[in-house]
Amino acid sequence: MVASLDNVRGLTLAMSSSAFIGSSFVIKKIGLKKAGDSGVRAGSGGHSYLYEPLWWLGMITMILGEVANFAAYAFAPAILVTPLGALSIIFSAVLAHFILKERLHMFGIVGCILCVVGSVGIVLHAPKERKIDSVGEIWHLATQPGFIVYSCLAVVGALFLIFWAVKRSGHRKMLVYIAICSLMGSLTVISVKAVAIALKLSFSGSNQFIYIQTWFFISVVFVCCLVQLNYLNKALDSFNTAVVSPVYYVMFTILTILANMIMYKDWVSQSATQIATQLCGFVTIVAGTFLLHKTNTSNTDSRHVGSAPTPSPPPPPQICIEE
């Protein structure tokens, strides 16, 4: 790849995006903890964090990161920008280590490395995106049977997790919250791309906001982002930040790539070697996710190891008075 000025700008924006997003996890966690001390915790269904300035600072930091990531794609190819999103895991883990005092065991560190390696492998060997010239073209692709089936499965799966799994084990199993965010996130990316194309074409003189399809995609972005925000807050409030960040990145990346492959059918142009490499990357991610999840479970269990129940005080001696 030629080291052009645009590539340098894209690289700088992508790294800045990772720094902002990784920092936002830690800042929001501090805000959630402060809000939980004075009100109902987010993990218990409370929304007192909306009155906490630090939580809003974390939200602003995350928005800045997303804007920088969006701008990076305008200068550098996706093959350079997308893998750098894994750097947000490193920023989050390092800051959580020094600021939140959240420690990762050796298996957790190995799990993070496996997640990053697997994600980078999948992204680097993902097929190139086709050129899209209008929102109508995206609408045509989105209404194909394959993507309609995926969208229905994603929505039904998220609703099942929200109305059944969350009540039963959401506060104990991190993957319940992360799965909801990732399923909705894959649909968000598709819709965000449509809105971005609509903005680009509108600025160039072809107004795309006169079509109902554009407003439909905007509505999907709004609803999915609200759901993601709610359950990501619950995950951050209930579990270790250094574990939430990489697992969320990994699951979100897998489902996003899957949604794009189904919608754009780019896998048809791939060779057997490319497909095999992506499968190997997926297995690597699964192994890393397993290690991270087991590390989180062992950390939770270790809080109770050796802590015997507090014995109840003996009953007061009875004094018998003889008459």
**pLDDT tens for each residue of 254-300:** 888 788 778 877 677 778 887 788 788 878 877 877 776 666 555 55
Nearest to 295 by CA among 104, 121, 62: 104
Nearest to 93 by CA among 115, 65, 68: 115
User: pLDDT tens, 104-123?
Assistant: 778 778 877 887 887 777 77
pLDDT value for 153 = 96
Average pLDDT of the segment spanning 38-55: 71
Nearest to 190 by CA among 229, 159, 144: 144
**Cα–Cα distance measured from residue 85 to residue 293, given in angstroms and rounded to the nearest whole number:** 21
User: pLDDT tens, 200-244?
Assistant: 778 878 888 889 999 999 999 899 999 998 888 888 888 877 678
Residue 318 CA, distance from chain mean position: 62
Nearest to 259 by CA among 101, 170, 149: 149
**Cα–Cα distance measured from residue 31 to residue 41, given in angstroms and rounded to the nearest whole number:** 11
101 or 181: which leads in pLDDT:
181
Nearest to 125 by CA among 278, 271, 279: 278
Q: Where exactly are the structural domains of the chain? A: 1-128, 131-268
Contact 222, 192 (CB under 8 A): no
pTM of the model: 0.67
How distant, in Å, are the alpha carbons of 155, 311, 313, 322, 323 from that of 318?
A: 65, 20, 15, 13, 16
The residue assigned the tokens 């280590």 is 97
Which range is least confidently modeled, 114-118, 130-134, 194-198, 283-287? 130-134
The residue assigned the tokens 């507090």 is 310
- Burial (CB count within 10 angstroms: exposed 0-12, middle 13-18, buried 19+), residue 170: buried
Question: Which phi-psi region, left, alpha or beta, contains residue 19 (left: φ > 0; alpha: ψ -120 to 50)?
Answer: alpha
Q: Which residues contact 307 (CB under 8 A, 6 or more apart)?
A: none
pLDDT value for 259 = 83
